[in-house]
């Protein structure tokens, strides 16, 4: 560290330290390498704070105006790529303040009156995470609209529904798409809930105990778009619940994205051929010319690892911290920054894949008709028409499935005589329920797979997202 660098660092720290930090200490202590992303929030918080100080008569209006103009210049320099970030000044707060002093001189030193870096960083970070929660909701809604378009187009396209990845009952393509609309709707709700809880201002809590200056915390809260100031100064500077909630909501969203990505990987395989992914979201092979790899889906499937890792990391950082602020909290931002970037990229990629994909209606219907997918319909028919208890109907149906399996055919291919060998009450009408289209059309219960139900749910969501 040069003498000039030491002097700059010491000027910011004051008179407590006779010499600058060791190079290793500087490397572990500095956060400017990543917290520079908070520059807009930091400057917004400083502008609100300076305006409040002047309104309360704590600093002169002329100093507040000089600070305001200087901060706008700093903002312009950063956004124009003309700002030099200095590691020896540790973080975004000190970098901005040092440049402000170069621009306006003595009034810059009055900006930090009645606040601390503790409430400053808590405010900056909360503002940033709030913006990311809003961005996540927008990304989720865009994905939901893409899924809705698929659902509306294929409301009556029949496909197999699976349990244990085994054919279970016929459903519709639209119904399957709407399942993800519901999932991502809950995800958007979690981000919205978290945003409502985080929308309280830490600014004015100072280091941990508040301040003796006659500040107006409600004014700075309002200026920054918060609902109110946080009610306890200890909690205000030490709380990172907002970041943990954001990460938790991100991890759940990434889990849902991974589930859909897994289905796209399976469905686009040569063994299924349920969907065709566009060239925009697939790659080829360096050696096998026939390959069309669903790389975007596979990468989305893997992104949950990074987001879940960030979530666990921050929980681990926070789990043993006494009140109030500890330097451990500097480890919060990189985790959240990476998780937010990863989530937004995954959402955008999934939206693009869903919008571009083509479902193979013929293959979907062919698969829906195999694997004894209407066995439950047969059992239900025996309950309704033959008056059998469901457990008995289940047993009779199982016997017929075994017979069809032995013959190498499906249930509708069994003759009436063969059907009646399992139970004499079976008659010709049974064949009306064994078709996959009849099966899905009969599922008219609320939330069921019947095309009318799918269209009703799609219309409800379209109105919500409009």
By annotation, the residues acting in catalysis are 164, 285
Helix (H) or strand (E) holding 201: strand 200-201
CA atoms within 13 A on the CB side of 437: 4
CA–CA dist 247, 309 (Å, integer): 10
The residue count of the chain comes to 466
Q: Which long-range contacts (CB under 8 A, 24 or more apart) does 161-166 make?
A: 161/373, 161/449, 166/371
Asked if 169 and 161 touch (Cβ cutoff 8 Å), the reply is yes
d(CA 424, CA 430): 12
* 293 SS3 class: strand
Nearest alpha carbon to residue 422 among 404, 449, 445, 448? 404
**φ/ψ (deg, to 5) at 146:** -65, -40
* Residue listed under structure tokens 């698929």: 150
Helix/strand/coil for 171: strand
Contact 109, 26 (CB under 8 A): no
Those residues whose C-beta lies under 8 Å from the C-beta of residue 35, and which sit 6 or more positions away, are: 91, 92, 121, 124, 333
Pseudo-torsion of CA 64, 68, 70, 76, nearest 10°?
170
Enumerate residues 6+ apart whose C-beta is below 8 A from 12.
Answer: 89, 94, 97, 98
Q: Cα 260–266–268 angle (5° rounding)?
A: 100
Quickly tell me which residue has 């312009």 as its tokens.
76
Pairing of strands 166-172, 158-163: antiparallel
**Distance between CA 118 and CA 239 in Å, rounded?**
11
């Amino acid at each position: 560290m040069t003498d000039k660098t030491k002097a700059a660092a010491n000027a910011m720290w004051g008179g407590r330290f006779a010499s600058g930090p060791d190079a290793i200490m500087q490397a572990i202590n500095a956060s400017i390498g990543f917290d520079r992303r908070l520059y807009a929030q930091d400057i917004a918080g400083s502008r609100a704070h300076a305006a409040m100080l002047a309104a309360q008569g704590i600093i002169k209006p002329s100093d507040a105006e000089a600070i305001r103009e200087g901060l706008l210049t700093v903002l312009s320099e950063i956004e124009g790529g003309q700002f030099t970030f200095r590691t020896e000044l540790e973080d975004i707060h000190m970098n901005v303040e040092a440049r402000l002093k170069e621009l306006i001189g003595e009034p810059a030193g009055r900006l930090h009156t009645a606040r601390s870096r503790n409430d400053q960083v808590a405010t900056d970070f909360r503002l940033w995470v709030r913006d990311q929660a809003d961005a996540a909701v927008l990304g989720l809604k865009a994905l939901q609209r893409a899924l809705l378009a698929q659902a509306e187009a294929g409301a009556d396209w029949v496909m197999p529904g699976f349990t244990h990845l085994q054919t279970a009952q016929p459903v519709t393509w639209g119904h399957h798409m709407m399942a993800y609309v519901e999932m991502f709707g809950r995800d958007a709700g979690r981000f919205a809930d978290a945003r409502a809880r985080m929308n309280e201002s830490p600014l004015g809590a100072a280091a941990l105990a508040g301040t003796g200056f006659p500040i107006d915390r409600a004014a700075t809260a309002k200026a920054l778009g918060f609902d109110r100031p946080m009610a306890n100064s200890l909690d205000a500077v030490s709380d990172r619940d907002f970041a943990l909630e954001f990460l938790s909501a991100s991890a759940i969203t990434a889990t849902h994205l991974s589930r859909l990505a897994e289905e796209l990987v399976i469905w686009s395989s040569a063994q299924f051929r349920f969907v065709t992914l566009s060239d925009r979201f697939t790659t080829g092979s360096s050696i096998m010319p026939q390959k069309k790899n669903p790389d975007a889906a596979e990468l989305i499937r893997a992104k949950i690892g990074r987001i879940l890792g960030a979530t666990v990391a921050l929980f681990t950082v926070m789990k043993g911290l006494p009140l109030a602020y500890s330097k451990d909290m500097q480890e919060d931002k990189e985790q959240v920054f990476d998780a937010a970037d990863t989530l937004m990229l995954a959402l955008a990629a999934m939206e693009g894949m869903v919008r571009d994909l083509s479902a193979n209606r013929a293959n979907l219907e062919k698969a829906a008709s195999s694997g004894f997918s209407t066995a439950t319909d047969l059992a239900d028919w025996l309950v309704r028409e033959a008056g059998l208890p469901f457990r008995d109907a289940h047993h009779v149906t199982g016997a017929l499935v075994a017979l069809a399996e032995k013959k190498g055919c499906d249930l509708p291919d069994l003759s009436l005589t063969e059907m009646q060998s399992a139970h004499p009450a079976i008659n010709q009408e049974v064949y009306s329920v064994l078709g996959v289209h009849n099966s899905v059309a009969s599922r008219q219960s609320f939330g069921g797979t019947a095309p009318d139900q799918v269209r009703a749910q799609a219309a409800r969501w379209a109105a919500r997202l409009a």
